[in-house]
Amino acid sequence: MSLLSIILTLIVVGILLWLVNSYIPMDGKIKNILNVVVVIAVVLWLLQAFGVLGALNGVTVS
């Protein structure tokens, strides 16, 4: 994965999160939970993209 595609993906995710936070009326607690989930998912994705975190193919959510 190229650095340009990583940066573009981060920009798109950031804009989408900003749009959701700005234009969809939600309780503050739900917005905080959404922001935390998105940040954790992006950090895990970045760690996997840079090879710090191994492949997440074997991870299952039950």
Rounded CA separation 23/58 (Å)? 37
Rounded CA separation 22/62 (Å)? 33
In the numeric block, which tokens belong to residue 38? 């998105």
Rounded CA separation 20/5 (Å)? 22
pLDDT for residue 41:
93
pLDDT tens for each residue of 14-34: 999 999 999 999 999 999 999
pLDDT for residue 19:
96
Q: Is the pLDDT of residue 52 over 90?
A: no
pLDDT for residue 40:
94
